[in-house]
A and B are shown apart, each in its own frame.
Chain A
């Protein structure tokens, strides 16, 4: 084929892909915004941003909710406010950002305690255009929580469980990144957006089904018209993730590889792609956080010293199953073995008759699909347009720790990163815990740059 033709074809493919992304998700939010009405503006007119909440406790005799009046709430650096007769309080804050909200315990009436004294003060993030509710659950009588010392067994156990959760989800995002690096040598900065993509697609399918945003199709039965159950939405999100991975490889990066675009230039391409996708997401999805339609507010189960919501337990179990599945796929199937062979030595693999392009296609599809699943699981807590980018640092730390290009390394690295940054909050402020990941990365690069499972010659 004439080079100019090929170039034009690639360009058309690229534009088509972008248009598809735009159309698909623009439809989603256009109606999302009109439906739930939580986004896009100041609901409370002239009043500024605020932090608000209500204080009450359940009377053990009558079972009624009793509001508490005259309890002082302080927002550090802003001021204090007392709850009114309905137990409600609201304090205005000057700008969006992180605030520390303190309930002054000595102003509580006799016999009323915080259910969880560890959760005071609370860190509260106020985003633009929206008031922020804070919760101070109160009980009559003694607090349930164990309050002996800062480093209690209960707290360590809880942080370990949360670290495990973070590590498992991270591992799925990191394995995709490391597989793509292993087979093509490309550091894919857009991996973070693949995570967000999975999360947003699941949200979309959860609320609107396949085509529910297109007016005349909306009355169709689920899954075509209305929203589907989150379980189905998650599966659809995973498929959408794999599909995006396929499209990106087929229409953008395959052409670039064939045209001999250098790896550095391809890396800059992934960065461009990352910004492009991220701002398309915020363009159509809006800046505020949302939650899935199902399982949004679940009561935590107590498992010994640990409290986890059922959705977390299910998602963590599924993650373990998926990760075992990925490992056995890499070990046992032809394609999995081919992936590892191409990672080890591309030329050698090619000369033994492995179709390298096919392997790369599968790596993109499965890597993006895994990232999407991790996005869905992360989305159980919160769905946000820049979520992926916020954990990009952690994903990179996991991958570097395990050794770039080593899938099992990414798994081990992710678990270590997840546990370390959660347990680090025993010693340091939770607000800067993600910086621990950077520290891990700097240390590993200084002392063992090939990663804990990597081989020496990889760092060239």
Chain B
């Protein structure tokens, strides 16, 4: 087995695009669920709203990047309003049902044949991200490979990473600041005891709607960064399992804690990358044994990851709902 290769891949994953994108999406979910206690099971829908807001603006309307980003944000806010207005007055699980359904509906909508001229239907949108890489701000050569010790990235990814991690760190700091502001404290009060907060004159409905929209916008930005790195938008990548991965990441790090999305995302992707690379890199003997006993082959090795996400979510919610490092005090997986 080529351990050098496996370790290099694993290390590079640690700060890679997936970690950044999923951490950012989890920061959004952390605002919604960790601080406000909202059960948003459609975060991937917000990512899709951001991605298509950007992609459609840049490819169909040929507007520039800034306008595209603006539209991505606007779409995310609109989605939050559509989801939140009917459900946030009701018991918490209604939001869960509606969000999970809506994220699938968005996927069906953008891949609808009639939408083909705008969203490209099942083929999606390609060729829109060049302007993001061609700016004079980009200090890296797109095609070149850069190595820093055990980390190795191509220039194209490095530019996304630079932008993405900057946004991520700033967002986390903003969220941290916001949550200690009166707004954030009101939000946490609503999470802990909505009736008490309302008795003190706080408009719980409006606060929850704002939290849903704010978290949704962060999710939308995560979606934009993801498609900018890929260089194309494929409707089927906005699959509900992405949402559940984000949930697993958030609960892994501990909901309601400032840095938990980043920690959770790093742990998750490092584990996944290490496991997949080891399984794929197994020498003939053990690899054949695995194929004979549990039918593991190169076709289904990528599904092992999702089996583990499911198992992890199940066990974490059961035994460590406050996350690996969390404390019970700032715990959001509670009855409301």
Could you list which residues of chain A lie within 8 angstroms of chain B, going by C-beta atoms? 7, 14, 18, 22, 26, 29-30, 40, 76-77, 94-98, 100, 123, 187, 189, 252, 255-256, 259, 261-269, 271-280, 282-284, 389, 392-393, 396-397, 400, 404, 429, 431-432, 434-435, 437-438, 441-442, 445-446, 449, 459-460
Q: Does B321 contact A (CB under 8 A)?
A: yes
Known: A264-B333, A279-B303, A396-B97. 19 other contacts (CB 8 A): A26-B294, A95-B122, A98-B111, A264-B335, A265-B333, A272-B248, A272-B309, A272-B313, A272-B314, A275-B307, A279-B310, A282-B300, A393-B101, A431-B108, A434-B104, A441-B101, A446-B86, A449-B90, A459-B91
Is the CB–CB distance between B97 and A429 below 8 Å? no
In the bound complex, CA of A14 to CA of B334 (Å): 23
In the bound complex, CA of A273 to CA of B18 (Å): 24
Give chain A residues whose Cβ lies under 8 Å from the Cβ of B316: 272
Give chain B residues whose Cβ lies under 8 Å from the Cβ of A100: 113
Is the CB–CB distance between B310 and A275 below 8 Å? yes
Q: Does B77 contact A (CB under 8 A)?
A: no
B317's nearest neighbour on chain A, judged by CB, is: A268
Task: Quote the shortest CB–CB distance from A389 to chain B (angstroms).
Answer: 8
Give chain B residues whose Cβ lies under 8 Å from the Cβ of A266: 317
Is the CB–CB distance between A442 and B310 below 8 Å? no
Q: In the complex, which range does the number of interface residues on chain B fall in?
A: 35 or more
Interface bits B312-336 vs A (CB < 8 Å: 1, else 0):
1111111101000000000001111
Q: Does B41 contact A (CB under 8 A)?
A: yes
Give chain B residues whose Cβ lies under 8 Å from the Cβ of A268: 247, 251, 313, 317, 321, 333
Give chain B residues whose Cβ lies under 8 Å from the Cβ of A396: 97, 100-101
Task: Quote the shortest CB–CB distance from A270 to chain B (angstroms).
Answer: 8
Task: Quote the shortest CB–CB distance from B320 to chain A (angstroms).
Answer: 10
Is the CB–CB distance between A261 and B113 below 8 Å? no
Is the CB–CB distance between B311 and A438 below 8 Å? no
Is the CB–CB distance between A40 and B94 below 8 Å? no
In the bound complex, CA of A88 to CA of B76 (Å): 48
A30's nearest neighbour on chain B, judged by CB, is: B295
Give chain A residues whose Cβ lies under 8 Å from the Cβ of B97: 187, 396, 400, 441
Q: Does B96 contact A (CB under 8 A)?
A: yes
Could you list which residues of chain B lie within 8 angstroms of chain A, going by C-beta atoms? 39, 41, 82, 85-87, 89-94, 96-98, 100-102, 104-105, 108-109, 111-114, 116, 121-123, 240-241, 244, 247-248, 251, 294-295, 299-300, 303-304, 306-307, 309-319, 321, 333-336
Is the CB–CB distance between B295 and A189 below 8 Å? no
Is the CB–CB distance between B294 and A22 below 8 Å? yes
Main secondary structure of the interface of B (DSSP, over half): helix
Given known pairs A26-B294, A396-B97, A434-B108, the reply for A97 and B313 (CB within 8 Å) is no
Is the CB–CB distance between B87 and A445 below 8 Å? yes
Is the CB–CB distance between A264 and B334 below 8 Å? yes
Given known pairs A279-B306, A438-B101, the reply for A271 and B295 (CB within 8 Å) is no
Given known pairs A264-B92, A429-B113, A445-B87, the reply for A438 and B314 (CB within 8 Å) is no
In the bound complex, CA of A7 to CA of B319 (Å): 9
Given known pairs A187-B97, A429-B112, the reply for A283 and B295 (CB within 8 Å) is yes
Q: Residue A438 contacts which of B41, B105, B112, B306 (CB distance < 8 angstroms)?
A: B105
A23's nearest neighbour on chain B, judged by CB, is: B294
In the bound complex, CA of A77 to CA of B111 (Å): 14
Q: Residue B113 contacts which of A98, A389, A392 (CB distance < 8 angstroms)?
A: A98
Give chain B residues whose Cβ lies under 8 Å from the Cβ of A279: 303, 306-307, 310
Nearest 10 Cβ contacts at the A-B interface: A276-B310, A272-B313, A97-B122, A272-B314, A275-B310, A268-B317, A279-B306, A265-B333, A446-B86, A445-B86
Is the CB–CB distance between A280 and B102 below 8 Å? no
Is the CB–CB distance between A271 and B101 below 8 Å? no
Task: Quote the shortest CB–CB distance from A435 to chain B (angstroms).
Answer: 5
Q: Residue B122 contacts which of A98, A255, A267, A442 (CB distance < 8 angstroms)?
A: A98
Is the CB–CB distance between B314 and A273 below 8 Å? yes
Point out which of B89, B97, B121 has the most chain A C-beta atoms below 10 A from its C-beta. Answer: B97
Given known pairs A187-B93, A393-B104, the reply for A264 and B39 (CB within 8 Å) is yes
Q: Residue B314 contacts which of A187, A259, A276 (CB distance < 8 angstroms)?
A: A276
Point out which of B100, B247, B314, B321 has the most chain A C-beta atoms below 10 A from its C-beta. Answer: B314
In the bound complex, CA of A29 to CA of B300 (Å): 12
Given known pairs A26-B294, A267-B39, A282-B303, the reply for A441 and B310 (CB within 8 Å) is no
Is the CB–CB distance between B313 and A267 below 8 Å? no
In the bound complex, CA of A434 to CA of B303 (Å): 27
Task: Quote the shortest CB–CB distance from A421 to chain B (angstroms).
Answer: 12
B251's nearest neighbour on chain A, judged by CB, is: A268
Given known pairs A432-B109, A460-B91, the reply for A97 and B101 (CB within 8 Å) is no
Is the CB–CB distance between B98 and A441 below 8 Å? yes
Task: Quote the shortest CB–CB distance from B148 to chain A (angstroms).
Answer: 35
Task: Quote the shortest CB–CB distance from B64 to chain A (angstroms).
Answer: 28
